[in-house]
């Protein structure tokens, strides 16, 4: 195989060399338990505190509002299940959207099986939630609104500030799954009226298995993992010190380079989008042109089966995705594409390309050339395409 072209940065990212370097001393050298009293543990404790400060500053929060978890999925589970329990006496209604990550959707379904009612809001053809729909869905027994900051499949950025203002006006809690947005676009919990926010290390060149949940001071939320007194009694378990240090370093780098990275990625993304739409017939862009993550492109190709496209790209060393990593392997079309109105048969022909600041123009050119050949080849084998060509001849 030739060189590896990694275009699946929404699924996970490489750990940055600076991040690894920051983590290494916390395995064999400063391995003390940050909860211990003796001075040997003070290095680990200071490192955890430092990471917490960096992360809190990145979203305009206070240190004591950041709770480390084992990743985005845990943060999402915690935010929903533990507020549902803590606010059950006020009501049992939750509002979310049809395009959330499965960490939210499957948690919401679990809550439905346990006596809660969930409204799943529709989105427009770009994948955006209409804030007026959020407001219209609020009832006296609504306790929580959970809307993602940016979608992991089609890259659409949601109107958080507008939704946050509505939540506040109605005294309903507002949670956002910001796993794809954190470190990529500016987020400010006060400005956006966010009460809880989930993020994950491995989507921002940090390690896997570490994330955090921001919980605004004053929000009642039950603890999620019972045990020791870590994380102010709310999330027990010895701190994952190397992971926390890595997440802190990754956050520091992402924030420091955010503007530059976004400019670079946006330019390369738009180059990719315009070439694909111009050079490949029957191709469409899924998601918003205006409100889009800098690193995301998601295409639909008619008369193509997404899996076959991915296998042929893989044979040329190109890693891409046809939806989210979590749904691949199943034959169900993406719930996100269905929610934006893509018919079943077309939802199967989608391709998600998510770049990074390491992606080069040459890699994108190589990918486009390959994609063009692959699509011609797959269409030449498609009876549907043959019918289409005959009818339109
Ligand atoms: C990746 C992802 C998650 C899950 O995060 P993990 O750290 O892998 O558990 C949740 N939500 C979104 C939007 C994601 O992209």
Mean pLDDT by 10 residues, the chain (393 residues): 88 98 98 96 97 98 98 98 96 98 98 98 98 98 98 98 98 98 98 98 98 97 91 94 98 98 98 98 97 98 93 97 59 90 90 98 98 97 91 87
- Count other Cβ atoms within 10 Å, centred on residue 293: 26
- What confidence score (pLDDT) does residue 242 get? 98
User: Ligand 1: which of 175, 179, 321 to mutate, most ligand atoms within 8 Å of CB?
Assistant: 179
CB 297 within 8 A of CB 321: no
Q: Outline which parts of the chain fall under CATH 3.40.640.10.
A: 17-254
CB 45 within 8 A of CB 357: no
Q: Outline which parts of the chain fall under CATH 3.90.1150.10.
A: 5-11+257-391
Per DSSP, the residues of 188-233 read -TTTTT-SEEEEEGGGTTS-TT-EEEEE-TT-----SB-SSSTTTT
Relative to the CA of 11, which ligand 1 atom is closest?
1
Report d(CA 393, CA 378) in Å as an integer. Answer: 20
Distance (Å) from CA 118 to ligand 1 centroid: 21
- What confidence score (pLDDT) does residue 82 get? 94
Measuring CA to CA, how many Å separate 52 from each of 34, 191, 217, 250? 13, 20, 15, 12
CATH topology of domain 5-11+257-391: 3.90.1150
What six digits make up the tokens of 17? 């060399």
Task: Check if 261 has its Cβ closer than 6 Å to any atom of ligand 1.
Answer: no
- Residues 6 or more apart whose Cβ sits within 8 Å of residue 373: none
- What confidence score (pLDDT) does residue 327 get? 47
User: Ligand 1: which of 69, 71, 250 to mutate, most ligand atoms within 8 Å of CB?
Assistant: 71
* 3-state SS assignment for residue 146: strand
Relative to the CA of 200, which ligand 1 atom is closest?
7
What six digits make up the tokens of 159? 């109107």
Write down the residue that tokens 């966010």 correspond to.
194
Which residue in the list 225, 312, 319, 326 is annotated as catalytic? 326
Distance (Å) from CA 176 to ligand 1 centroid: 12
Q: What is the pTM of this model?
A: 0.97
CATH topology of domain 17-254: 3.40.640
Per the annotation, the verdict on 326 as an active-site residue is yes
- What confidence score (pLDDT) does residue 2 get? 63
Q: Which parts are annotated binding residues?
A: 72-73, 152, 180, 200-202, 238, 326
């Amino acid at each position: 195989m030739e060189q590896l072209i990694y275009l699946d940065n929404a699924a996970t990212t490489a750990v940055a060399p600076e991040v690894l370097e920051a983590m290494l001393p916390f395995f064999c050298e400063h391995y003390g338990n940050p909860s211990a009293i003796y001075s040997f543990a003070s290095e680990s404790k200071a490192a955890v505190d430092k990471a917490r400060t960096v992360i809190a500053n990145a979203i305009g929060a206070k240190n004591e509002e950041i709770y480390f978890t084992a990743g985005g999925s845990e943060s999402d589970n915690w935010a929903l299940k533990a507020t549902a329990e803590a606010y059950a006496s006020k009501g049992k209604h939750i509002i979310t959207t049809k395009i959330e990550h499965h960490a939210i959707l499957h948690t919401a379904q679990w809550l439905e099986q346990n006596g809660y009612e969930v409204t799943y809001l529709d989105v427009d053809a770009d994948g955006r939630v209409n804030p007026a729909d959020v407001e219209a869905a609020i009832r006296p027994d609504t306790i929580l609104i959970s809307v993602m900051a940016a979608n992991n499949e089609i890259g659409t950025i949601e109107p958080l500030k507008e939704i946050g203002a509505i939540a506040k006006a109605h005294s309903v809690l507002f949670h956002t799954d910001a796993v794809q947005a954190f470190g990529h676009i500016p987020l400010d919990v006060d400005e956006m009226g966010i009460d809880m926010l989930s993020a994950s290390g491995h989507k921002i060149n940090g390690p896997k298995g570490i994330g955090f949940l921001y919980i605004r001071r004053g929000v009642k939320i039950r603890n999620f993992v019972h045990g020791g007194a870590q994380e102010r009694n709310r999330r027990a378990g010895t701190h994952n010190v190397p992971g926390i240090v890595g997440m802190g370093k990754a956050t520091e780098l992402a924030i420091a380079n955010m503007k530059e990275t976004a400019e670079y990625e946006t330019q390369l993304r738009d180059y990719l989008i315009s070439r694909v739409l111009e050079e490949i017939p029957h191709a469409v862009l899924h998601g918003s042109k205006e409100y889009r993550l800098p690193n995301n492109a998601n295409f639909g190709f008619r008369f193509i089966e997404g899996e076959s496209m991915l296998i042929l790209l893989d044979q040329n060393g190109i890693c891409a995705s046809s939806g989210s990593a979590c749904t691949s392997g199943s034959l169900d079309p993406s719930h996100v594409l269905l929610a934006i109105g893509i018919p079943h048969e077309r939802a199967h022909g989608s391709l998600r390309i998510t770049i990074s600041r390491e992606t080069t123009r040459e890699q994108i050119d190589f990918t486009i050339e390959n994609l063009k050949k692959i699509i011609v080849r797959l269409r030449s084998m498609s009876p549907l395409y043959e019918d289409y060509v005959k009818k339109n001849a």
